[in-house]
Amino acid sequence: MKVVFEGRKFRVLSGEVTLPSGKRVIRDIVDFGKSVVILPIKGDDVFIIRQYRPAVGDWIYELPAGTLEEGEDPLECAKRELVEEIGYEAGKLEPMFRMYLSPGYSNEYMYAYLATQLEYVGEKPEYGEEIRVVRMSFDEALDMVRNGLVEDAKSIATILYYAFFIRGGEGDI
């Protein structure tokens, strides 16, 4: 495959791909790499952010998240993004699950972490990130998923994974 676009956060590859059957097809692929999403839990509360996203032209509710820097491992990245975006350091960061975001055209692969034992150290927003931090009860966050106020796939998946498999009491990860 050939690099047809080289951007700031991703590049685009294009060319012929051989499928398992031997068939050949032309595909365009977003080469994005790895990322993290973090569920920050403090007692019965969760921190969600409301962030302006130029790609969709709107403010949306999301969990804190970010992209791995060169050479960074997912755990370090989760630690860093949590401080940058909500201003809390996590005493405990546990892996929950992993997911492709748009495997039809992007290789983005995301690690979901549960962050607990949170201590406030102050936000460090990156230039161009317009973020408001919202602290609410986890039950309110669940209602926002149910009612369609949270419209972000990684956040819906992560909130519900925690609600269904961890918080319910079955709960070891």
26 binds a second copy (CB under 8 A): yes
Name which position in 36, 48, 65, 82 contacts a second copy (CB under 8 A).
65
> Which residue, among 26, 30, 27, 25, has the nearest Cα to 12 in the 3D structure?
30
CB nearer to a second copy: pick between 43 and 54: 54
Rounded distance, CA 90 to CA 88, Å?
A: 6
> Which residue, among 64, 7, 55, has the nearest Cα to 30 in the 3D structure?
7
115 binds a second copy (CB under 8 A): no
Name which position in 73, 92, 100, 139 contacts a second copy (CB under 8 A).
100
105 binds a second copy (CB under 8 A): yes
What's the min distance (Å) between Cβ of 119 and a second copy?
A: 27
3 binds a second copy (CB under 8 A): no
What's the min distance (Å) between Cβ of 148 and a second copy?
A: 5
Secondary structure (DSSP) of 46-113: EEEEEEEETTTTEEEEE--EEEPPTT--HHHHHHHHHHHHH-EEEEEEEEEEEEES-TTTB--EEEEE
Contacts of 67 (CB under 8 A, 6+ apart): 9, 32, 33, 34, 35, 77
2 binds a second copy (CB under 8 A): no
Q: What are phi and psi of 119, to 5 degrees?
A: -130, 130
Name which position in 43, 71, 122, 148 contacts a second copy (CB under 8 A).
148
Q: In what helix (H) or strand (E) does residue 16 lie, and over which residues does it extend? A: strand 11-18
SS3 label, residue 141: helix
| Total interface residues for a second copy by CB under 8 A | 63
Q: Which residues are known catalytic residues?
A: 129
Q: Given the rule CB under 8 A, which residues bind a second copy? A: 4-5, 7-10, 12, 14, 17, 19-21, 23, 25-30, 32, 52-57, 59-60, 62, 65, 67, 97-110, 127-128, 130, 142, 145-146, 148, 151-154, 156-157, 160-161, 163-165
